[in-house]
Chain A
Amino acid sequence: MISRRERVLNLAVLVFMSLVVLVPVSLLVLASLSPTPNGRPAFGDLRWDNFVVAWQQSDFGSHLLVSLTVSLAVVGITLVITPLAAYGLAVLKAPGHKWVFLVFLAGIMIPLEGIIVPLYFTMRATPFSSTVVALIIAHSGLSVSFGVFWMRAAFRSVPGGILESAMIDGAGPLRILRSIMLPLSAPALITLGLLTFMWTWNDYFLAFVLVNNPDQLPVTVALGSFSNKYTTQYNLMSAAAILVALPIVVLYVVFQRRFIEGVLAGAVKG
């Protein structure tokens, strides 16, 4: 059925789109290994120690620790609070659950710009102003909408028969959640964890506004100021950028199916 010409055309489209992505990314990698500050590729002279220099000059280690702390804490909090809420809505059908779900869902449509100004003043008035704690709380609050939406959909797809028989056996709500709903929704939980980790790690704006303390900055904001300080040293800037991107890219390579399907399915939320 499929003609040879169409097969070639097919491949051409895929190769073209891949090149559009790969060429700029390869230039970044080559620049990070370049011996000259303008980042010109030099295949014969690959400077791996650019990464060491960039690491040291940007104080990468301490920012990495901040990013890891914030991202892992937000994933942890999200994976506790959103399945609980989704369970209360989808399975226990808390009074007014339809209405509450709409309130949660509305958060997906409110852009960060709509809340950032008061959020800054609210956080500033707390004892953890301008620290990782403020960042963790803000990210966790922002992850609620998507998390509840995502876990509710997962719980609703659990066959009702399993639930009923568990209730007949006299299992309490917490027990049902722990030994039936969560194990059956493990794939959804893993995807939610990965997406939350990526979104938190990749955030720039929220951390940029909420955190002023230089040693509490995540890697993204640190890279932003590093790249402004070393505007003429593209090789070091590129090396620092790769250090920032690497953890997510590694996760992406390992879990690509979950990332792509999660984002595409999550996109449909709008």
Chain B
Amino acid sequence: MLAWLFLLPALAFYSFVVIGPTAQSVWFSLFRWNGVGPATWVGFGNYADFATDPLIGEALAHTGVMVVFFSVLPITLGLISAALLSRTRSRSTGVFRSIIFLPQVLTSVVIVVIWRQLFSLDGAVNSALRAVGLGDLAQPWLGSFTLTLPVLALAGTWTTMGLCMLLFVSGAGNIPTELYEAARIDGAGAVREFFSVTLPGLVPQLAVALTLTLIGALRVFDLVWLTTRGGPGTSSITPAVLLYSKAFTQQDVGGAAAIGVTLAVLSLLVSIVVVRITDRAAS
């Protein structure tokens, strides 16, 4: 029983901050409550409202775009680099590794400042376009109904790309050299070598990269809130931005909690599904 004394401090913090509020989130989501007055029991009403609230659908559709930029693109780029580097088995050591990983240690607010500037009216992107004679394409990127979302999402690609690449390159470094030698003796070219040796050897790293980036895409808040607050209009709104505005500006605490619970369930599902699929692929 003495051993439990060692667990107590961590359990106290953890219960107060994580376990308690998790349970409360579920409970809150079953009420209509403005945060101050009395709460009304609505059962699954807040979840049922998702079906009729066009903003929820729009936010989820935007999450789909985020998935492409946060997950699909970085993983593809990471795999390509790992494939190109694994043939020579040189790890991207030293200064390259440190540079490529750098965006991972920058806080979102700083990335936002970088992005705002790159894509501002007389920012670097527009200047570059004008310099090469494509001035007609220069535009206020973060004021466009169609381009704001992908331009913001591209910041996600920039942030996670290095992490994916280093994960895959270090994973490929652990693939036994004999497998590559065997493939070469069989006459495999670079492409076949990648699909028959590198890719299967990277399944565990793929699982990690997928889980991390998909959950990242699901949770986008800072990037959007600090640039457009979901605008122009609602063209860049995300579930987390919607959660924030429901809870703290529209006084719809129940609806906000329902979004929070849904995001938590989706994150859990992502983890479970990814583990299932990669387990099957590995066996």
Contact = CB atoms under 8 A, between A and B. Distances in A.
Interface of A: 2, 6-7, 9-10, 13-15, 17-18, 20-22, 24-25, 27-28, 31, 38-40, 77, 80-82, 84-85, 87-89, 92-95, 97, 100, 103-104, 107, 109-122, 137-138, 140-142, 144-145, 147-148, 173, 198, 201-205, 209, 220-221, 223-224, 227-228, 234, 237-238, 240-242, 244-245, 248-249, 252-253, 256, 259-260, 263-264, 267-268, 270
Contacts of B165: 17
A45 to B, nearest CB: 18
Contacts of B19: 103, 107
B4 to A, nearest CB: 5
A198 to B, nearest CB: 6
Interface in B78-92: 81, 84-85, 87-88, 90, 92
B24 A227 contact: no
Range, interface on chain B? 35 or more
Secondary structure of the B contact surface, majority rule: helix
B21 A122 contact: yes
Contact of B208 (A112, A249, A268): A268
Interface in B108-147: 108-110, 112-118, 120, 122-124, 127
Given A115-B18, A173-B2, A13 B260 contact: no
B167 A264 contact: yes
Interface of B: 1-7, 9-11, 13-14, 16-22, 24-25, 28, 35, 81, 84-85, 87-88, 90, 92, 96-110, 112-118, 120, 122-124, 127, 158, 161-163, 165-167, 170, 204, 208-209, 211-212, 215, 218-219, 221-222, 226, 239-240, 243-244, 247-248, 253, 256-257, 259-261, 263-264, 267-268, 271
A93 to B, nearest CB: 7
27 contacts: A10-B88, A21-B99, A21-B103, A21-B162, A24-B115, A31-B117, A38-B122, A84-B9, A92-B2, A92-B3, A110-B268, A111-B218, A112-B219, A113-B263, A115-B21, A117-B243, A117-B260, A121-B253, A137-B13, A138-B17, A173-B2, A201-B107, A205-B222, A209-B248, A241-B113, A245-B107, A270-B212
A209 B109 contact: no
Contacts of A9: 84
Given A115-B21, A204-B222, A264-B167, A141 B13 contact: yes
A201 to B, nearest CB: 7
Contact of B96 (A18, A144, A237): A18
A118 B24 contact: yes
Contacts of A220: 107-109
A10 B84 contact: yes
Top 10 closest pairs, chain A to chain B, by CB = A141-B17, A114-B264, A88-B6, A94-B3, A118-B24, A92-B3, A85-B10, A202-B107, A115-B21, A241-B113
Given A110-B264, A144-B14, 19 more contacts: A14-B96, A15-B96, A18-B96, A28-B114, A40-B122, A85-B6, A103-B19, A109-B271, A113-B259, A114-B261, A114-B263, A117-B28, A121-B253, A141-B17, A227-B113, A237-B113, A249-B102, A249-B106, A267-B208
